[in-house]
């Protein structure tokens, strides 16, 4: 196996056994980037010498017996998350040359765990809908999804084993689906957003891309740490390993209120998946209050975008991509009454979902409307993710299905609030049963 194809857990095991150095692993990833970046274009900033210096420092720590839980593992960082030694430009020419003075909290935690901050991954402008340069590694004519486009594509193309993204609507799980990787949006308030460009205080979630549930657990165990710099932190116990379940989970297959937006091949594939595992999967409908869930999420997100990006719009509207400018204008039209009514409705949905989960360990539902669209100006429809983001519940996209063109389609798994460890165990069980453990 090429070294770049090792998962983080596999690489750590070999490093701890003395069979691999961080320098060799990072160099293998850099070689993969050199081979494929012209096609995939996942990186907004990359300094190979800086990456190798970090790898050498990791090897020295391992030799001294002071290695952290991610020592020597290369990680890509979405370019809306501050890094003190690398630019953070938010995917926008309005932020060209921006150099933060300090790391975001999650970057600091990764460094303390020994990770190699490999570089900055391409994002759509301000993590909205205006695409960057990244292409889908499975088919360069297809979108990688957004907004965490470079983060998902870099993991999907074996450039790094881990990358950090964010989700306000569907920016983690949809790209994970399109790029054939695992994507985790944890419980709201469990990974700090301090040092991350904001869109919506009510909806923004940092998240993790990986190629196995083990790797999700490794990264989440480092990142889920309470931070007073984010006033919405809920706090969370560290996860440890994604240990296997001892009994099968109780799963609910949910089509959801936006099922009609799904492509026929996705609908057929996930229905077949649910039938195949009928001994543990029961089809259920969400409570009626969810009928307007997607619209409710849209009101909250758009209203927040009008406020958070308003200063950039006022300073230089023409400097924004027209797609971004239109989103800001749409958000500025959201009234305070509509926003507050949407917040109250979301709380009613959260109460109803808590009751729903009393009968199930997890929900399985589509991670995307279908396979990646063959259109580089479209990021794909986030409808199947947005209302779960609104709920703040933890969710993972598992790369299990294929579309009519053979491109990946993910299965989204959702657990109750704070049950991130359970979510990872359920994902591991599903992946094992499906023969797709990666």
Active site residue 78: yes
Phi, then psi, of 315 in degrees rounded to 5: -75, -40
Active site residue 171: yes
Residues 82, 196 contacting (CB under 8 angstroms): yes
Q: Which long-range contacts (CB under 8 A, 24 or more apart) does 329-332 make?
A: 330/302, 330/305, 330/306, 331/301, 331/302, 331/303, 331/304, 331/305, 331/306, 331/307, 332/306
Among the listed residues 92, 129, 166, 171, the single catalytic one is 171
Q: Token pair for residue 336?
A: 């305070």
Residues 199, 90 contacting (CB under 8 angstroms): no
Among the listed residues 22, 129, 147, 200, the single catalytic one is 147
Q: How far apart are CA 44 and CA 428, in angstroms?
A: 32
Q: How far apart are CA 319 and CA 15, in angstroms?
A: 47
Phi, then psi, of 281 in degrees rounded to 5: -110, 125
Among the listed residues 78, 177, 192, 200, the single catalytic one is 78
**Residue 49, SS3?**
helix
Half-sphere exposure of 336 (CA within 13 A, CB side): 0
Question: Which residue is associated with the tokens 């340069």?
Answer: 133
Helix (H) or strand (E) holding 318: none
- Give me the active site residues, please: 78, 147, 171
């Amino acid at each position: 196996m090429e070294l770049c194809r090792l998962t983080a857990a596999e690489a750590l095991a070999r490093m701890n056994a003395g069979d691999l150095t961080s320098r060799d692993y990072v160099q293998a990833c850099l070689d993969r980037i050199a081979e494929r970046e012209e096609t995939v274009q996942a990186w907004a900033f990359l300094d190979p010498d800086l990456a190798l210096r970090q790898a050498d420092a990791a090897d020295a720590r391992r030799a001294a017996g002071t290695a952290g839980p991610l020592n020597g593992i290369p990680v890509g960082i979405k370019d809306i998350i501050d890094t003190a030694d690398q630019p953070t430009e938010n995917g926008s020419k309005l932020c060209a040359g921006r150099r933060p003075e300090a790391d975001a909290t999650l970057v600091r935690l990764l460094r303390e765990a020994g990770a190699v901050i490999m570089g900055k991954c391409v994002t759509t402008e301000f993590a909205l809908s205006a695409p960057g340069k990244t292409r889908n590694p499975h088919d360069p004519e297809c979108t990688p999804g957004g907004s965490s486009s470079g983060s998902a594509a870099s993991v999907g193309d074996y450039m790094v084993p881990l990358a950090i993204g964010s989700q306000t609507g569907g920016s983690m799980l949809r790209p994970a689906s399109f790029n054939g990787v695992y994507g985790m949006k944890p419980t709201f308030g469990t990974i700090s957003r301090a040092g991350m460009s904001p869109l919506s205080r009510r909806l923004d979630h940092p998240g993790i891309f990986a190629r196995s549930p083990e790797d999700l657990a490794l990264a989440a165990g480092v990142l889920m740490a309470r931070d007073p710099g984010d006033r919405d932190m809920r706090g969370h116990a560290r996860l440890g390993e994604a240990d296997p379940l001892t009994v099968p989970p109780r799963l609910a297959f949910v089509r959801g209120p936006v099922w009609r937006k799904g492509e026929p091949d996705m609908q057929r594939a996930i229905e077949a998946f649910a039938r195949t595992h009928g001994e543990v999967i029961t089809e259920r409908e969400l409570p009626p209050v969810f009928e307007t869930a997607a619209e409710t999420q849209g009101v909250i997100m758009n209203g927040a975008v009008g406020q958070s990006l308003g200063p950039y719009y006022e300073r230089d509207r023409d400097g924004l991509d027209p797609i971004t400018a239109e989103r800001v204008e749409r958000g500025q039209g959201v009234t305070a009454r509509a926003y507050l009514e949407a917040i109250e409705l979301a709380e009613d949905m959260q109460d109803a979902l808590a009751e729903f989960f009393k009968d199930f360990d997890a929900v399985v539902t589509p991670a995307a409307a279908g396979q990646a669209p063959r259109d580089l100006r479209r990021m794909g429809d986030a409808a199947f993710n947005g209302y779960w983001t609104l709920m703040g519940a933890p969710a993972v996209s598992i790369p299990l299905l294929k579309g009519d063109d053979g491109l990946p389609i993910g299965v989204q798994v959702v657990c109750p609030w704070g049950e991130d460890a359970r979510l990872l165990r359920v994902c591991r069980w599903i992946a094992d049963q499906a023969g797709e453990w990666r």
